[in-house]
Structure 1
Amino acid sequence: MDARRIVRALKTPVTLLILAAMVYFAARWGMDAARAPIPPRPLDPCVVQEVGPVLKPEHVYVMVYNGSKQDGLAKRLGQILSADGFKVYKRTNADRDDYVQSVVKGHSEDSPEVILVRQAFENIGFEADGRADRTVDVIIGAEQPAPHPAPEFGVPLPDGKACLPDLKLTNTDG
């Protein structure tokens, strides 16, 4: 057998093996991509709106998360905040159930919406996350937040405008 015959005899099987390997790796990549979790859709950034000289609870969207092992805390605190006038957008469990301290999370500590939510509690921690949508999270830990006995809700706005989320109010109890 000369070299030409050997090349001709091996060309088809080698080509088929290469194509089979390419199909295998493409199928594996496709299955991995199909099984990957879908990332959550980011919330829309805030929209500057005219609200008057004072920001009031009816302009603030709050999401309440239960970060403790005790059941029903998010629903109960969500009802309290709703009664205070806040728009409670979500009431559900947190990403974990071992939070020790309760905490408010929002754009920044001096954001009017964060100040307003913190007025509802006597002593509660804060974490800034720079979120663009201007919603506020309240995560309830093992040490539950103490409600302020006589809160005076209102944050003065120098120009009467606030950056508020562009969300539709839907309560999701969890």
Structure 2
Amino acid sequence: MDTRQTVRALKTPVTLIALLALVVLSANWAWDAVRAPIPRRPHPPCVVKDIGPELKPENVYVEVYNGSETNGLAKRLGQLLSADGFKVLRRVNADRNDYPESLVVGKSEDSPEVILVRQAFDNIAFQADGRTDATVDVIIGANQPVPLENPSFGVPLPDGKACVPEINVAANVD
């Protein structure tokens, strides 16, 4: 068997092996893409509105996440915040369930909406994430937040204007 016949005899099996490898790699990539979580659509940026001399809970949108191993905490805390007048958009599990401490996550520590949400709790940690909307997240950790009894809510606004999210609550409430 000369070189030409050898190449001709090996061409088909080598081509089939290469195509099979391409199909396996493509299938693996597609399977990973299908299993990847769908990223949440971000909330639209907030809009500056004249809401009066104080920011009140009815102008603040909150998402509650359970980051602990105890079931039902996000639902219960969301109900408490709703009873206080906050607009609770979501009550779901966090990305993981091993948060040691509960925390409030928002644009910055001096944002009026963050200050207002922190007024509902006794000594809760804060984490800034620089978001462009005015929503606030409450993540419940193993050390659960202690809601205050009959808190007085209100954050003075020097010019009576606040950055309020433009969110359709009926479409977003879980």
Moved more, 22-31 or 93-102: 22-31
Q: 1:99 to 1:161 in 2, by over 3 A?
A: same
Q: 1:94 to 1:30 in 2, by over 3 A?
A: closer
Instruction: Look up the match of 1:50.
Output: 49
**Partner letter of residue 51 of structure 2?**
G
State the 1:66 CA deviation. 1.2
State the 1:23 CA deviation. 7.4
State the 1:19 CA deviation. 8.2
State the 1:24 CA deviation. 7.4
State the SS of the aligned residue for 1:143: coil
**Partner letter of residue 126 of structure 2?**
F
Q: 1:163 to 1:46 in 2, by over 3 A?
A: farther
Instruction: Look up the match of 1:171.
Output: 173
State the SS of the aligned residue for 1:82: helix
Cα deviation, 1:8-63, whole Å, max 9, x if unaligned, reads xxx999999988887776676556545x5254143133232324231110011101
**How many residues are aligned here?**
171
- d(CA) in 2 for partners of 1:110 and 1:43? 22
State the SS of the aligned residue for 1:96: coil
| The structure with more radius of gyration | 1
TM-score, structure 1 normalization: 0.78
Instruction: Look up the match of 1:122.
Output: 122
**Partner letter of residue 128 of structure 2?**
A
Unpaired runs of 5+ in structure 2? Answer: 1-10
Unpaired runs of 5+ in structure 1? Answer: 1-10
- d(CA) in 1 for partners of 2:159 and 2:94? 36
Q: 1:91 to 1:31 in 2, by over 3 A?
A: closer
Identity %: 63
Instruction: Look up the match of 2:105.
Output: 105
User: Once superposed, what is the RMSD of the aligned Cα atoms?
Assistant: 2.7
* 1:135 and 1:165 in contact (8 A); partners too: yes
State the SS of the aligned residue for 1:85: coil
